[in-house]
């Protein structure tokens, strides 16, 4: 066979192998990699529904000690967590020992200490479930139900990078005010028969308090990460300027990802793929407000990108803000495991899994029908974006094997 013919045959074989890789991965069950990911999904799916009122019965440890032992460089909780329902139940029922204004930030929150000394963040309900937040994709108050839904989406996607969140109803008069600091107490007021507070934050105003129905306020409780895992804050490379008429570089430079790849910690290790995972996560929930992100300190770039502060999500179910996906469509890279999980979730599986995962929550129903439908619709958009990358540059350059599994310290 002549050299030219051999080259043609070799190119044809490589092309067919690339098509086969796409077909096997997209099909969900055709390859060893896909079968492994499918088994992982089935395991997660079997544990998706959480029992109400669960309690720890097989250990003398507190729920907080159990949850603290789960945390590692690449996960907030492991893939098998039979105690998860009990920990979430404790978060939603444990006695409040102390209440204070929230830590630094732009949005209203309270810092609570639960029985046993566990710190948590309480975000109050500001909107009814069917309220649509108009305007910019990052507009409006924080949505407490968005924090709950985002945590369960993190479970469904298999990322396990979001702190635990659960809904809770708190009596402000009997549970909070008796143990509140003077600083928090000074922000309480009455609107008619409803107890309200406005806290302390950049945008907190006495004229815009959060109000209970009577004395009982619905909100979300987020478990504080263990102090032995201090956080480091990073500016997101695809952050917005939040200035009218001023664009960030990524908004006009289509080759921006090549510059990011040359900057630590994105030039090596898992961080860039974490950013891309997060972009898909944020697009699904409609979160265009991740201007910074956190990792664990002194990690050498190996720590996961922790999915904190997801409350600017699920504001407008009709808005699909494609710019959130910029890290994906500019870098055209995605983990094979993420790609496989997303394919398993298409065809309505994602919204069904979200319904099942949140059915136990005290704040159920967490999402309305339009927001659940938006999850499925946006998932199709993510899959189409990855397919376009594969068509443009090939499967081998788009689908990246990265199964870093660092041991716990």
Residue with tokens 């997060």: 278
Tokens representing 63? 């729920």
* Binding-site residue set for Mn(2+): 142, 309
Q: Long-range contact list for 192-201, CB < 8 A, 24+ apart?
A: 197/110, 197/124, 197/172, 198/108, 199/101, 199/102, 199/108, 199/109, 199/110, 200/101, 200/102, 201/101, 201/102, 201/104, 201/105, 201/106, 201/107, 201/108, 201/109
Contacts of 115 (CB under 8 A, 6+ apart): 94, 95, 96, 97
* Binding-site residue set: 107, 123, 142, 222-225, 294, 309
Contacts of 189 (CB under 8 A, 6+ apart): 196, 197, 198, 206, 209
| 9, burial (CB in 10 Å: exposed 0-12, middle 13-18, buried 19+) | exposed
Q: Which of 355, 345, 409 is nearest to 377 (CA)?
A: 345
Contacts of 121 (CB under 8 A, 6+ apart): 102, 103, 109, 110, 111, 112, 221, 222, 224
- The residues that are catalytic are 289
**Coil, strand or helix: which one is 400?**
strand
Question: Is the Cβ–Cβ distance between 357 and 166 less than 8 Å?
Answer: no
* Binding-site residue set for ATP: 107, 123, 222-225, 294, 309
Q: How many alpha carbons lie under 13 Å from residue 283 in its C-beta half-sphere?
A: 26
């Amino acid at each position: 066979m002549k050299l030219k013919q051999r080259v043609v045959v070799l190119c044809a074989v490589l092309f067919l192998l690339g098509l086969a890789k796409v077909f096997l991965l997209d099909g969900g069950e055709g390859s060893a990699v896909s079968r492994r990911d499918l088994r992982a999904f089935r395991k997660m799916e079997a544990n998706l529904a959480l029992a109400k009122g669960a309690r720890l019965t097989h250990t003398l440890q507190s729920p907080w000690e159990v949850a603290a032992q789960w945390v590692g460089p690449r996960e907030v909780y492991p893939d098998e967590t039979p105690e998860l329902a009990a920990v979430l139940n404790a978060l939603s029922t444990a006695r409040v020992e102390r209440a204070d204004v929230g830590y630094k930030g732009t949005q209203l929150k309270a810092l609570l200490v639960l029985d046993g000394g566990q710190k948590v963040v309480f975000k109050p309900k500001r909107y009814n479930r069917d309220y649509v937040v108009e305007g910019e994709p990052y507009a409006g108050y924080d949505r407490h139900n968005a924090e709950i839904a985002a945590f369960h989406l993190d479970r469904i996607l298999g990322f396990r990078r979001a702190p635990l969140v659960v809904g809770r109803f708190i009596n402000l008069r009997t549970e909070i005010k008796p143990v509140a600091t003077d600083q928090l107490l000074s922000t309480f007021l009455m609107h008619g028969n409803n107890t309200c507070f406005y806290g302390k934050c950049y945008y907190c105003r006495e004229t815009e308090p959060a109000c209970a129905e009577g004395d009982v306020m619905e909100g979300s409780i987020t478990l504080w990460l263990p102090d032995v895992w201090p956080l480091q804050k990073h500016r997101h490379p695809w952050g917005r300027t939040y200035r009218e008429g001023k664009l960030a570089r990524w908004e006009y430079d289509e080759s921006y990802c090549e510059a990011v790849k040359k900057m630590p910690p994105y030039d090596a290790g898992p961080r860039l793929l974490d950013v891309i995972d997060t972009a898909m996560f944020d697009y699904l929930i409609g979160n265009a407000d991740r201007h910074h992100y956190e990792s664990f300190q002194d990690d050498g770039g190996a720590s996961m990108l922790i999915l904190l502060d997801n409350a600017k999500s699920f504001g407008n179910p009709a808005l699909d803000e494609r710019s959130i996906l910029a890290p994906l469509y500019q870098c055209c890279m995605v983990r094979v495991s993420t790609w496989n999980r997303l394919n398993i979730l298409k065809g309505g599986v994602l919204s069904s899994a979200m319904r099942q995962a949140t059915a136990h929550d005290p704040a159920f129903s967490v999402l309305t029908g339009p927001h659940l439908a938006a999850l499925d619709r946006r998932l199709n958009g993510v899959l189409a974006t990855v397919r376009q990358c594969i068509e443009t540059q090939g499967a081998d350059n788009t689908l990246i094997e990265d199964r870093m599994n660092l041991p716990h310290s």
